[in-house]
Structure formats: C-alpha cells, structure tokens
Structure 1
C-alpha cells in the first residue's frame, strides 16, 4: 500500500515542482531584466537619410539616385563591390604585366609610353599605349580597318599582332544584356546580340569601334617567387580604327587606365586581384614602370582627385605655380593624362607660366616656327652648354608641389643642322588643361582610386625601392628605347580641330654635356590627346 501510494502521488509532486520552477523564473525575469532600448535603421538612400543629408553642407557625390532607376541599383552594387573588393585586395600582392612591367616611350608613335601585354589562350602579345585619360582596353581585332602590322611600318624591329576571339579558347562574347554593356546599350540592336562599342577621341578624326569580349590578361606577382596570374579582363575587339590609330600613335591598341568600371585597374580591383590603386613611373631616359596594386609611400606628395558626376578621369586642382623665383596664384583644374604627349594649358595659366619661364631664361629667343607646336624656344649654338633652367612647380590643393623635372625639349631643324633650339614643351589650348606625360618625367605617380588621391615623388624607375634622387645614367644601358624612325610630318597643338602639315624636325641632345636624358636622337611624334570625347 505504501508503495502504491508513493506511485500515485508522483504526478502530483512533479506538477508542483514544475509550477514552482516556472514561478521562480518569472520572478527572476521581473527582478533582473535590464530596461529595453532600440534605434531605427535607415537605408543609405532612404528618404530620412536624404532629408538629413540635405541639411548638411555636403551632398552625396553624383547626387541622390531615385528609387528603381539604373543609377540607384548601380550605386548599391558599386558600394558592395567596393567593400568586398577592398577586403579581398588587402590580401592580394602587387601585380605586373607578365611580359615585364617595363614601359617604353616610343617617340615615333606619338611620344607616348608603351608596354607589351599578353591576352587570350594561347596568349598573343600586343604593344599598347598606356592611357590614364581613357577607359577601354582595346586591340586590333578581326580587322576591317586597322594599322599595318609589319615592323617596317614603324622601325620597331618587331611585327605587331591582331587579336581574334575565335582563336582564343578563353574568349567569351559580352551580350547587350550584360551589365558590362551598360555604357553601350544605345548601340545595341538586340538584347542578346554582341555588345558593340564606339569611342571617339579628342585627337581629330580618331576613333575605335568593334564589340566587347571577356578574356584573360596575363600578369605576374611581385617578389622573389613570381607566379603567373590569369586575370579576367574586358577587351574591345577593335575591328575599325580611324585617324591617328592608323599609324601615328597606338597602332596596336590602347590600355585604358581610367576610373570607369571597364578600365583595366577597375576590373582587376573589383575582382579582388589588386588593391584599387596603381602606379606609373616615367623615367628620364624614356624607360618607365607600371605596377598594379601599388598604393604609394608615406613620404610622397599628394592631392585629392576632383570627383565629378559622369567624369571618369583623374582631375586635380592646381592653386598656384612657381617658376624660378616668381610665383602665381592662378587656379585651375587639370587632367593627369599619360595619353597626352605634351602638357597643355589654357590662359591665363599658359601665359603666366610661359612668360615667367621666358623672364628667367637668359638665352636668345628663337622666331616662332609654325611647324613646331611650342611657342617659347631659344637658340643654342653647337658650342654652348645649357647649365641652368628655372625650376617649375605646380602647387596643388592641399599645398603639395608637383615638380616639373624636365620642362624642355631640344630640337634641331633638318634644314639648319648647325643650330639647335630648346623649347618649353608646353602647348596652348583653348579648352583643356592637361598635365601630360612629359611633365611627369622623373616621377613615380600613384593613382590611388581607393582613397581618391594622386600621389607622386621623384623616383629612379630602375629600382622601385630606391627613393634617392635620380641617377645621372640608367643602370641598365641595354634598356634604352628602340631606335625610332622620324616622326610624322604633322604637328597640331590644336588637335581637336584640324590636321596640320609642318616641316619635319628632330629632337636631339644639345652639344656638350647638358642632360643625360637627351643623349640620343628622338623623332618628335605629335601632340596627341587620347581622351574620349564623350567624357569631356
């Protein structure tokens, strides 16, 4: 009976135990629960955030996109890509071109810097002009109208190649409905068709057109144990070229380094292969370097880019200039463009710099020669040495100074071989302020697109770790540029309007020992603007 009674009472005891446990838990929750609090979460493009931003002195760069528009979704995707790409790139090494990160200024081809790149499977090499003033990477491809490819056409000693997507096993067509085709959809005939492109450049009658493809670009990691990287890249299959692309400059393709999402550094960084930055070093002897992922150094000068809506160029603000002992507080914005041979300025900046330079030079000024694009030239006899030139600095927003290490060019007219001239290599323009590659000589220039700054410092391009002053002679004498043919018989400082015809001149070193960077004959190419018209 006692055992039976205990069994009968067990459910009752279990119920009471559960009841007291529940009561105890409720008392604890009432006694120890912290007071609750919360906060609202707002979308970055919400109406509430828009109202808050409008009350502040600064608005969102590029404006606030309307909900549901392509700009709205593009901004969201770009934000995500920037965050994820930055996280991946922190682990990525610096990359160079697989064929070497050496760049060469070829004076017979527009006085621009070129590099050899390899694309496709099997790989095919191209000699491309490096252009921070444009975005698309294109090469001659299944040509309807392209520049000649034989070495005899340019005096380079090598034949040039033509790309064909059908012979590359890694080539893939980009259709019109791809996000990569967003900038060219107006040219599409159907959403499933090939994405066509057409880019017109500022240089008169110069353009490239074809269609877009995906393929691979061969890069290599920096360091003691380099590894080949097959980087997915967007390539313009350039079927038709016009103007200067038919031989005067970039006959084998253009390497777009701008800020647009199709440019080479943009594609590489968006896929986490590099940090969102690259550098170019412009050597005093025409030999340079390009490095992807290079974020510069703590001792460099720097200034912020001017970020404007629909502007994919590298634009900075100049607040003043120094020439010798004189200074000017003239202010203007300027493009930093490796695809422009010689620096161009509009008035009043052009006149102030030129006249200040003229006042500081003791040599006799030469008569203006319409065949030469430079206005301020000075006579130099065969027995004279040029030992002193006034220094030139551009003062940028923030106070850092861009030094112009080599502002002049030496010229000998073929009809007067006994006389030499040196000219301030600056061209007057009616519309564009451009710091061209000639004013970047002797500098490593960093295009940091993550922090949106331009960085620079004096550099020896032969030793990328050496920040000492530039050497008098290159360390590798075999690294000289190929001996070029004479340049084309046209000079046109106003390349936006017409084609000019002029007397052929040859750039030479002056007699005596003036500067080692001019110790060989050069053929002037042309004042060349590789700037797409659509983004100006």
Structure 2
C-alpha cells in the first residue's frame, strides 16, 4: 500500500480526470445468513500483482436469495492471476474478470468505446478483453437510492448524503423508497481506483452436475465501471462482504475452493483451474490440514491466517521463527497474514524477509545472478545447472527443482504446507551454457505499519487445493496436481 501522502496525490489526480462524481468506497462488509445453500463450480485463469489492503469497515444487512446451488466454473490462467468468465445480461455477454479473494465488489469494464484506463500502459496485453454494454442487455437496470448496496458503497459519514445530493427527499430516504439512480461511486485498491455506477442484471452460472445447464440469477449487483486507474480488467470479488459473488449467490456461509494451475499453463486455452462454490467445495475434506481463519475485528471481511514459522529443506530442517504480527492484530487491525488470490507473490515483513533471504543463500551453493536481480527486481537469483544438459524449457523447470531447497510454511493448528517446488523459484528464461537462472518469487512488504503484516499470494498456492470452509471458519491446504483435478472436473477441452 502506498503511503497516505502518495495515495492522496494519486487520488487527487484521478479525481481531476475522472468522468464521474465520486465518493470513497468501503471494502469490508457484512451480510445476513442465507436460508439454504448447495454448490457451484467455476473455472479460473491466472493474473494480478496488486496487494489490496483493507479500508474502513461498515455494517450492512442484506437479504440474499434462498434459491442457490452448487457452482463449478473454470478459471483461466494468465500471467499475473486467474480469470473467470461472467455471463451477464440478456442476451448473455461473456466478460472476463479476475477472481479476487482480497476484495468484495464485483465490477466489469463498461462501454465499447468509453472505457478509460489511466496509467495502464503495462497492461496493454489485456486491451482486447471483453467489455459489458448495458445498452445491449434488455434486463439491465441502474440501481436506485433505495438499495442497501447504494447506501453501503458510499462511505459518507451520513449514508443518506449521496442520495440527498441526487435529489431524494428526506421522507423517501427514511422510508427507503427513493427511486432515483444511485450516484456514481469510487472503489479503491492497494494501487488502483475504479469509478462507476451500481448496476443490476441477470447472471448465469454453471452447476456441478451438468455443465451444459446454466442457472439464472436475477438482479445480480455489480459495478458498471467506465474509468479506472491501473485496473484494466474487471474483478469478481470473493471476500466475505455483501457485494461479493459468493455472498450474492447465497454461498458465503458454506464456502468455496480452488486449485490454481502452475504458471506453465498460462494462456493455455485447453486447461482450466477448478473453482468450486457451495457444499461440494467443503464436503469430504476432513483429511486435509486446516488452519483457523483469523477474525480481524477491524476488517472482518478479509481472509486471514496465522503464520508461525518457515523451514528450509527436509522436515528435519530448523524452524525460522517469524514475527508475532504475522498471526496477531494490533488495536487498529494491522497484522496477520492475508491470503489473497489477487496478489501474485507472497509478501513478508522486514527484517524477517531479509533473514529468510540470508538463510536461503547460506544453504544454496549455486552462483548468484546479480545482473538478473537488478533487471527483474527479484531479490535472490541463482544460476542452476541443467541436469544432463537437458534444454527443453518446460521439462527443465520441473526436473531441476530438487537442486534448490524446499520451503515449508507452518501455520497455526500445527499445519505444515510444503510448497510445491515450482512455487518458490522460477526460471527467468531459457537455459544458456548448461545453466538456467531461477529467482525466488517472494517479495518484501512495502508498508509494514499499515494493513496485513504479510500476504500469501497466488503463485505460492499453485498445485495446492485451498478450501475456504466458512461454516467452520477455517482454511484447508492440500498439495495436488491441479491439472489432473481440472480433468476430473471435466473442465479441460479435448
């Protein structure tokens, strides 16, 4: 998260050039318990690097539909995150968005010509991504000031202020019957900002038993965004708040699971990561290791876990004690380890991060590739010999991983997760002169005083089934071949 002074400058710039009237948005939400639940299975794609840090929290009472089902969808992998396709509107428009456990609001880019992304030059690869057109959907409606979503998306001291400015009388505000459109909003992330309007339309999702049958979810609420800062693609929020996709579908009291494919499958159209939402996601999981889902009293709608140590090499390797703020919160809600699919690499606080680098360097005998470190920005790169002079890129990445030490994360409740070898060091290019340069894909937290003390990113979650058991407030881990899991769920194309 940028320091407040830098953020103020960025935000002021955005206000100046934004096409919308804006108000600060609150990310953390609460909602009422759904009456029934089953399951859904979704599919993901890979992308994203920004750490989304908590904002102010607010309380929201939201009635969700009791008509729910299990859901299974494929997640397509791109280079910096995982993408899910949303089927919105009548007739359906397929919009690709990031699956993000670190935020609540689901939003999509709106308008074929009017969508404007500021400072997005580095994201030009996504310029061809689909956009939602409200004019081409017969079921699209603008949300009104009577909606609880409208009250909650605006973080004014008085929730009636935005709608009063929109022209709602005090009597209609108090009765919750003002039919005027909800004013435009602004929603902030760690480094990005989006501005848009609250919209409702029909969402179609796939069930777990028959992938050819879709279920219609009417009046699904989302942001129709026309202007952003460093946010080129929409987001499906999977946080605990009322705006999130699981909350609106009635699954947030059950849970969901995902199994992220490795980077080598990025942009492969034939393989998808399985995302399961509902009962199926948490059933028959008792053999998994579960760590408590920590509750941050200030930011209750984010997923926190407690890291107690890290060990290198075999199970007999010495345990590196981590600072207590990776499992504790201060009175302002700072601390804990955030688990976030929207952050690519795992981030650790200083000085512990530097200690981990020193420990790794002491047990690795390969020469450092300092020029690659300077070029890429990664902090620890080595020239690793190619076994038997094998130079087949993808095969090599898997074969020579044992030449680098394994890394085990130790979480609360005696949970030990040995990260798959491909989740630690990654080849920066093709082999040359019988060696390949591999860099540690961990990073240091930019701001150690505000927000989470650490973040467990999606790269380190590859080939791991991660289960969000909301009913029992715990998160489970189990190493798995996610490509085989995808084939089992029949998500792969022939």
Fold agreement, TM-score > 0.5: yes
Q: CA RMSD in A?
A: 3.3
Match of 1:230 among 186, 195, 216: 216
CA distance change for structure 1 residues 226 and 453 in 2, over 3 Å: closer, same or farther? farther
CA distance change for structure 1 residues 265 and 310 in 2, over 3 Å: closer, same or farther? farther
Partner of 2:321: 329
Name the CA distance, whole Å, in 2 between partners of 1:465 and 1:421. Answer: 30
Name the CA distance, whole Å, in 1 between partners of 2:381 and 2:486. Answer: 37
CA distance change for structure 1 residues 163 and 388 in 2, over 3 Å: closer, same or farther? same
Report Cα offsets for 1:99-123 as digits up to 9, x if no partner.
Answer: 972222212xxx1111222111110
Alignment pair present for 1:409 and 2:426: yes
Matches within 5 A, 1:499-510: none
CA distance change for structure 1 residues 367 and 105 in 2, over 3 Å: closer, same or farther? same
Matched positions, count = 371
Report Cα offsets for 1:209-265 as digits up to 9, x if no partner.
Answer: 10111212211111257631112421110011122x2xxxxx331111111110111
Match of 2:36 among 63, 79, 88: 88
- Alpha-carbon distance, 1:163 to partner: 1.4
Match of 2:145 among 163, 176, 194: 176
TM-score in terms of structure 1 length: 0.63
Alignment pair present for 1:446 and 2:467: yes
Matches within 5 A, 1:336-351: 336-351=339-354
Partner of 2:186: 198
- Alpha-carbon distance, 1:93 to partner: 3.6
Name the CA distance, whole Å, in 1 between partners of 2:341 and 2:466. Answer: 10
TM-score in terms of structure 2 length: 0.67
Name the CA distance, whole Å, in 2 between partners of 1:155 and 1:307. Answer: 37
Report Cα offsets for 1:118-164 as digits up to 9, x if no partner.
Answer: 1111100112111111111111113644359xxxx9668x9532213
CA distance change for structure 1 residues 199 and 318 in 2, over 3 Å: closer, same or farther? same
Matches within 5 A, 1:369-384: 369-380=373-384, 383=389
Matches within 5 A, 1:265-304: 265-269=246-250, 276-284=254-262, 285-286=264-265, 287-293=272-278, 294-295=281-282, 297-304=285-292
- Alpha-carbon distance, 1:345 to partner: 0.9
Name the CA distance, whole Å, in 1 between partners of 2:296 and 2:492. Answer: 43
Residues 126 and 252, structure 1, Cα contact 8 Å, conserved in 2: no
Alignment pair present for 1:261 and 2:261: no
Match of 2:197 among 204, 211, 216: 211
Name the CA distance, whole Å, in 1 between partners of 2:189 and 2:434. Answer: 39
Alignment pair present for 1:314 and 2:303: yes
Name the CA distance, whole Å, in 1 between partners of 2:237 and 2:297. Answer: 19
Alignment pair present for 1:398 and 2:413: yes
Name the CA distance, whole Å, in 1 between partners of 2:252 and 2:338. Answer: 24
Residues 174 and 213, structure 1, Cα contact 8 Å, conserved in 2: yes
What is the DSSP-based 3-state SS (H/G/I as helix, E as strand, rest coil) of the residue aligned with 1:280? strand
Residues 133 and 258, structure 1, Cα contact 8 Å, conserved in 2: yes
- Alpha-carbon distance, 1:417 to partner: 9.1
Matches within 5 A, 1:455-494: 455-464=476-485
Name the CA distance, whole Å, in 1 between partners of 2:408 and 2:302. Answer: 22
- Alpha-carbon distance, 1:450 to partner: 2.6
Residues 39 and 71, structure 2, Cα contact 8 Å, conserved in 1: no
Unaligned stretches of 5+ residues in structure 2: 1-28, 44-69, 157-161, 169-179, 266-271, 327-335, 391-398, 448-452
Residues 39 and 276, structure 2, Cα contact 8 Å, conserved in 1: no
Residues 147 and 252, structure 1, Cα contact 8 Å, conserved in 2: no
Residues 409 and 418, structure 2, Cα contact 8 Å, conserved in 1: yes
Q: Which moved more, 1:436-445 or 1:383-392?
A: 383-392
Name the CA distance, whole Å, in 1 between partners of 2:289 and 2:107. Answer: 32
Partner of 2:99: 130
What is the DSSP-based 3-state SS (H/G/I as helix, E as strand, rest coil) of the residue aligned with 1:283? coil
Residues 93 and 274, structure 1, Cα contact 8 Å, conserved in 2: no
What is the DSSP-based 3-state SS (H/G/I as helix, E as strand, rest coil) of the residue aligned with 1:412? coil
Partner of 2:131: 162
Name the CA distance, whole Å, in 2 between partners of 1:155 and 1:433. Answer: 29
Larger Rg: 1
Name the CA distance, whole Å, in 2 between partners of 1:253 and 1:319. Answer: 34
What is the DSSP-based 3-state SS (H/G/I as helix, E as strand, rest coil) of the residue aligned with 2:103? coil
Match of 1:103 among 58, 75, 94: 75
Name the CA distance, whole Å, in 2 between partners of 1:147 and 1:124. Answer: 21
Residues 274 and 491, structure 2, Cα contact 8 Å, conserved in 1: no
- Alpha-carbon distance, 1:356 to partner: 2.3
